[in-house]
Structure 1
Amino acid sequence: MNPSADAAPILALRGLRKRFGAVVVADGIDLAVRAGEALGVLGPNGAGKTTLFGMVTGTVRPDAGTVMFEGRDVTALSPARRCRQGMARSFQVPQPFAGLTVFENLVAAASFGAGEGERATYDRCAAILERCGLMARANERAGGLRLLDRKRLELARALATRPKLLLLDEVAGGLTESECAVLVDLVREVRAGGVTVVWIEHVLHALAAVADRVVVLHGGRLIAEGRADEVVRVPAVAEVYMGIPVDA
């Protein structure tokens, strides 16, 4: 799915600012994500990527600026209300309900995140488990899953909330090449189903396989934008990642 350049933004960030003491993690960020787009977010550790996701989803309150979702200002809305409106995210470190089964984790996400009755979610949750390769683990406790299956579950729980916008925080981190390929295929399938994806990732080839466009965040600012193969050649990006001076 390749959204047109003039497609309406599903997400628009306007002048987002955030600091923790003397550390500035967002310094007037402006960003628009088109409906149906897959946007990649690159940046070194400490660049403010996860904090950016927190401001989008409501777990972090910006010091200034607005978050617009489907043309509405959601800056003051709670994470739960944003989720009900169609935002979902995964976390860099998977955070399942460890004592519940894999299936129960999805039912909880669908019930509270999408506001559906528990029994009404069963068939849909089973279909998501099948789609994410977790059906064989449905009755296992989530706390005992290996890393790949925990990452799959993190994505499956987000999908159970019926997202229009899916924010992925380093879902490929810590995986082998073959495991990473499994996750990339799954994200591609989700995106092909019409879900807008914003993906933070350090594994560049995984990001390049999915993203239409990549932005690079550093020091609380966006320092580059373009295709994955373009942004890695931007001098400022080379300096951030490899210590090569901009005038080299």
Structure 2
Amino acid sequence: MQPLLSLNGVNKQFGALTVSDNITFDLPKGQALGIIGPNGAGKSTLFNLIGGALPPSSGTVSFKGADVTQQPASVRCRAGIARSFQIPHPFVGMSVYENLLVASSFGGSGHRNPKEACREILDRTGLLHKANRPAGSLTLLERKRLELSRALATGPELLLLDEIAGGLTEAECHELVETIQGIHASGVSIIWIEHIVHALLAVVERLIVIDFGKIVAEGEPRAVMSDPFVQEIYMGISVDDQAA
């Protein structure tokens, strides 16, 4: 079966600095993939390459069998790739509901009834009671929920989540995980970058570890997290310490 997303030999350099080094992987339709790695490993750059915010220096990005390597983020969004950002930037002068309507209108969602779809999304993400509030009045945690809602309003087939659980309490994180599980169960494919590993492992079926811009481990999530090499680069647990 043709993968939903395919990266083949993707590289990104800024001058002499290589931030993505020969990234190659496929994402089957319907899969939830987690990506972890130390700070500065190149995770957010990888999202920028997938979402179209950055063009690769070399290599190809394909979505639903079409080469989108040179396509901008707006085209990829309308094709079905949506992203939430680590630092939310809503339209602060608009209401929460209006933020979703803009995303639905310009993201190529294909919703038969965009207004009702936006209402249902706000209900799923716990923001329905804030629908008529100005987005600029939301707390940071509520803005994160709005980021997720706006991404969903575009009607994505692939949802990119960039550290969306950061800053949440344990209870809020649990609620978020349940929301994301429901989104995944509805058929949306997910790639999720996250430092809160227990939240990630509750959702994803596959895990990729990136270090210095390279994929250094990949596979079943708990097996990957048990790898001594992964524990050393990600959690600072050296192989010698484990053997002691």
**Pairwise TM-score range, normalised by the shorter structure:** over 0.9
- Does the CA-based 8 Å contact 1:169-1:201 persist in structure 2? yes
Matched, 1:56 2:50: yes
Deviation of residue 164 (structure 1)?
0.3
- Partner secondary structure for residue 9 of structure 1: coil
Structure 2 unaligned residues grouped into runs of 5+: none
Q: Which amino acid aligns with 2:118?
A: C
1:92 paired residue among 86, 98, 101: 86
- Map 1:10-25; keep pairs closer than 5 Å: 10-25=4-19
- Does the CA-based 8 Å contact 2:109-2:155 persist in structure 1? no
In the alignment, what sits opposite 1:38? 32
Q: Which amino acid aligns with 1:134?
A: L
* CA–CA separation in structure 1 for the residues paired with 2:3 and 2:183: 19
2:95 paired residue among 76, 94, 101: 101
Summarize the Cα distance change of 1:131–1:245 in structure 2 as closer, same or farther, 3 Å threshold. Answer: closer
- Does the CA-based 8 Å contact 1:239-1:245 persist in structure 2? yes
Deviation of residue 38 (structure 1)?
0.4
RMSD: 1.7
Structure 1 unaligned residues grouped into runs of 5+: 1-6
Deviation of residue 245 (structure 1)?
4.3
1:130 paired residue among 123, 131, 134: 123
Q: Which amino acid aligns with 1:136?
A: H
TM-score (norm 2): 0.94
Deviation of residue 8 (structure 1)?
3.0
- Map 1:1-248; keep pairs closer than 5 Å: 7-114=1-108, 121-245=114-238
* CA–CA separation in structure 2 for the residues paired with 1:244 and 1:44: 13
Q: Which amino acid aligns with 1:36?
A: G
Deviation of residue 115 (structure 1)?
6.4
Q: Which amino acid aligns with 1:135?
A: L
- Partner secondary structure for residue 114 of structure 1: coil
Q: Which amino acid aligns with 2:40?
A: G
Deviation of residue 134 (structure 1)?
1.0
State the aligned residue count: 241
Q: Percent identity?
A: 53
* CA–CA separation in structure 1 for the residues paired with 2:205 and 2:236: 27
Q: Which amino acid aligns with 2:92?
A: A
* CA–CA separation in structure 2 for the residues paired with 1:212 and 1:8: 18
- Partner secondary structure for residue 210 of structure 1: coil
* CA–CA separation in structure 1 for the residues paired with 2:16 and 2:238: 26
Deviation of residue 243 (structure 1)?
3.4
